Each structure stands twice: as C-alpha cells, then as structure tokens.
Amino acid sequence: MRRRAGPSRRRFLQWGVALAAGAITLPRPPLRLAAAALPTPVARHYFSDPDALAAAAGRFDAVLLPAYAAASLIQSARALAQWPRAPGRAHDPAGAFTAPLLVAAVAVRYRGAPPEASTLDDVFQPGALWPAFGRLAFGVALLRRGWLPDETHPGRLAQAARDLSAARPRFVADPARALAAGQGETALALVDLAAPPPDARFPAGARLALEFDWVIPRASPRAAEAEAFLAAQPAEGAPWPSRAYTLSPLPPRARARQAALWAELLRADPAKSASSAARGPAAGLN
C-alpha cells in the first residue's frame, strides 16, 4: 500500500476515537464509525458477525472489519456500497468495496524483558491474556496443532476448543492494556506491522496476519460524506508478511460450530464471560 500525503496513522486513529465519541465534528454531526476486533480501538460499536452488521448497518456511516468479514459481506452482494479504492487484493480484486487501513499480525507480548525467541507455549498457560476474539483464538489454537487456521473438520475444531480450555487463558478486551496494568505476564495480541511494539515477538509456527479494511454499508446514512472522509486519509500500511496465514470466510456449518464452541468456552468460566462482555459482542466475531 502506497503512502499518501496527509495526517499520520496515529492522528487518524485519534480522529476515529473522537468521531465515535462525538467529540469533534468533521462534518457535522460527526460521522458514526464502527469497528470489529481492531487492535487499536476506533469506535464504541462492535458486531458479532457479518450478519449482525448487515442488520444494523443503517446506523453507521463507515465500519472497520477484518478482511475475512468484509469478504463475507462482499459475497452477500447486498450489504456494502461500492467506492473503488485499492485493487489487487484477493478478497476484493477490483478494490470496489474496501479500503485497507493496516495489516496486523499475531504476536506474543511480555510484561518483562522479552526472550529472543518466542513460542505459543508462552501464552497457552493459565492467566495468559488473550483478545476476546473467537475466530482468532481458534485460528491460533489450530495453528499450534499444525492445522490450518480455517480448519472446518468438527473433530479438529473440538480439539482446538479443548486446548483452549486446558490452557485457561484470560480473554480480555485489550490484552496489551491489561498487560501494561500488571494483570498478566504474557499476552497474545494483534500488532500493527507498520509499527510493532518493542516487546512483541512473533512465534514460529503461528504466522497469522489480518488485514483490516474500511467498508461503507449500503445503508449508510451519509455514504458520500463517509467516502470523502476515508478517501482523504493516508493509505499507510506494512507489506504482507512472508509465509503468513490469514483467515477466510468459513462455510456456514463450520462457522456455526466454531461459534458454539466459543460460547461454551466463555460459559465455562464466568471471568471470561465478564471480560468479553465488557467489550461487546465482538468477542464472538466469526
């Protein structure tokens, strides 16, 4: 993605928070932005899955989604407005529906000095901090077993759920913030590859990355204003990491099975349910 002249990424994200809170007006009234499982908070509104977003899309001018969720909406051919922006990506070849904001990768972060090498075993232990993001949790657990993160086999999904249950991590809204607050020693986190934090380590065997895209719902109350605002933002970003997996839309049956297993994991531990509920239904994003 080519860098454009304009505000910095940090300033853009600050604008996103302010716009969501109604603190500034560009234009008036402020654009209503929504996000799903973004590693840096941009808005207060979250959605559990593309269907939930489609049902509420008329409430928002623009929405930030991981690429696999945007792909589900593109496939539905009913939810998103067209606004050509960045062609050449597999889930949106013509660049007709999405504008990439950043590429984030799974990393392990440490409260103390990070080791030279990192493994997923560092976060598959009691008390490790994980994002309350079901699709990501299953993807990491599947990769740890040597399986694809988009595995659909019921037995392998069940094994991933057992591994997560046995590890007993803490699912929280913001692992990096919880780590900084002293709530754990290690955290599984999504980090922006354009500016990875110094304590982040990328474990071997778990190269999982997600692109996060802006989309404009077809039912956006102010699609033209949203398009103008997003078009003016810098198209910054890191290149896609080599040999990295990503997440793709799941078939309906596998998606439902994974969502049910994730709900069981949260129900099994009230602390997990409480921490994910604090963020909203994005905890079950599939």
Q: pLDDT tens, 54-64?
A: 666 677 788 88
Which residue from 240, 230, 259, 248 is spatially nearest to 6, judged by alpha carbons? 230
Alpha-carbon distance 178 to 175, whole Å? 5
What is the amino acid identity at position 57? A
Where is mean pLDDT largest: 50-64, 150-164, 244-258?
150-164
CB atoms within 10 A of CB 259: 19
- Structural domains in the chain plus CATH codes: 9-102+212-231 (no CATH), 104-208+247-284 (3.40.190.10)
Which of the four pLDDT bands, split at 50, 70 and 90, describes residue 95? Answer: confident
pLDDT score of 219 more than 60: yes
User: What share of the chain in percent tops pLDDT 90?
Assistant: 32
What is the Cα–Cα distance from 156 to 151, expressed in whole angstroms? 7
Q: Which residue has the higher pLDDT, 257 or 223?
A: 257
Report the amino acid identity of residue 171: F
In this structure, are residues 258 and 286 in contact, taking their beta carbons and an 8 Å threshold?
A: yes
**Six token digits for residue 56:** 């509420």
**pLDDT for residue 78:** 66
Q: Is residue 49 pLDDT above 60, yes or no?
A: no
121 pLDDT band, cuts 50/70/90, is very high
